Amino acid sequence: MKKIRPQFVFSNSAEHPNKENTIEKDMATDESSNKRVLITVDEKDRGGPEKLKVTLGEIPVPSNSQVLIQVKACGVNFIDVYHRTGLYPGITEIGKEGAGVILAVGKQVEQFKVGQNTKELMVIPEPLLKTHKEKGYIYAAAIPLQGLTAHYLCRSVYDVGPNDTVLVHAGAGGTGGLLIQICKKILKCKCVITTVGSDDKAKVALQSGADYVINYEKEDFYEKVNLFTKGKGCNVVYDGVGKATWEKSLKCVSPLGRVVYFGNSSGKIPPIDPLELTKQGSVTLVRPNLAHFIATPEALQARAKELFEWIESQQLQIRIGAAIPLKNAAKAHQLIESRDTTGKIVLIP
């Protein structure tokens, strides 16, 4: 009998998750417990964080191949901003990941049961991962998207090794902090250089394991990278910032090196003449997408297995920047767009 790949639907409730770190006290509540909470944006009225709406909807009944999840915490990611603004069109329900408890399963779903705790990653048809309740839902919701992103960037897009010098932009952010830890502490690369926007963020990046931290508000990061590498440049540059950094990122990479653009928090980069890559020393430029690296259940589970092993062994630390009530989703978007945050932003129902 052929296995059915389960599809997933969200069902947020008013039940509060475990309290951790910087959770605000005025948690959102839904007096109508038989309703689900949605964060949405109108297709024809996109824009800033103020365009987000928190609405109530009916709790769906899962079909034969679906799993119904009571979401206890939701991760906030920059891709949510892209969906809100319409940079990635067609999405009106905002949110890509969460953690919670399975309330119901379809008749043809075999691998999951009612009551199991899950990490949910709404990227591909089979995005459900088991988690441990003792870790807390906020902690669990902070892991999937940024954790798997950091994993595929330094294991597949460029396989970081002990002889590599790595530049990571936004090293105090969620993905940046994970990249620093994985490259330096787990993959044992030669050197990690990172950029941040404040002295406080510099302290966070150093705690993650960076060898050199550059405050781009005070220093030219290209000049500093050139100094730290003695003019040799970096084997790989991880750039999730985009418009504000792309030109100097290209200058920071060594001949035959790789520049990995995986986000554009400051805006999209303009078209690039391929000859510029040749002039730099036959460097390569890639703009990968997580979905392509977890396109099958086997690929997702293999990456998740190694990622969770790193976390369980405490080789990899997850930093929660803030946990904010779901009703204040606009505030979470303001924070992530300000680039003033450190660690992961999580929404709690």
**pLDDT tens digits for the chain (349 residues)?**
344 334 344 333 333 333 333 322 222 334 445 778 888 899 889 999 999 998 888 888 888 878 888 888 999 988 898 899 998 888 888 888 888 888 888 888 777 778 777 665 433 234 566 665 556 888 888 888 999 999 999 999 999 999 999 999 999 999 999 999 999 999 999 999 999 999 999 999 999 999 999 999 999 999 999 999 999 999 999 999 999 999 999 999 999 999 999 998 888 899 999 999 999 999 999 999 999 999 988 898 899 899 989 998 999 999 998 899 999 999 999 988 887 778 889 999 8
φ, ψ for residue 269 (rounded to 5)? -80, 150
Domain 147-290 has CATH 3.40.50.720: yes
Distance separating alpha carbons of residues 180 and 213, to the nearest angstrom:
11
Cβ(138)–Cβ(103) under 8 Å? no
Structure tokens at 237: 């540059």
Instruction: Map out the domains of the chain as residue ranges.
Output: 7-143+318-348, 147-290
Domain 7-143+318-348 has CATH 3.30.70.3340: no
- Give Cα separations from 340 to 6, 47, 277 (angstroms): 38, 20, 32
Instruction: Evaluate whether 7-143+318-348 and 147-290 have a shared fold.
Output: no
Cα 293 to chain centroid distance, Å, stands at 14
**CA-angle at 226, arms to 261 and 264, nearest 5°:** 20
The model carries a pTM of 0.81
Distance separating alpha carbons of residues 183 and 204, to the nearest angstrom:
16
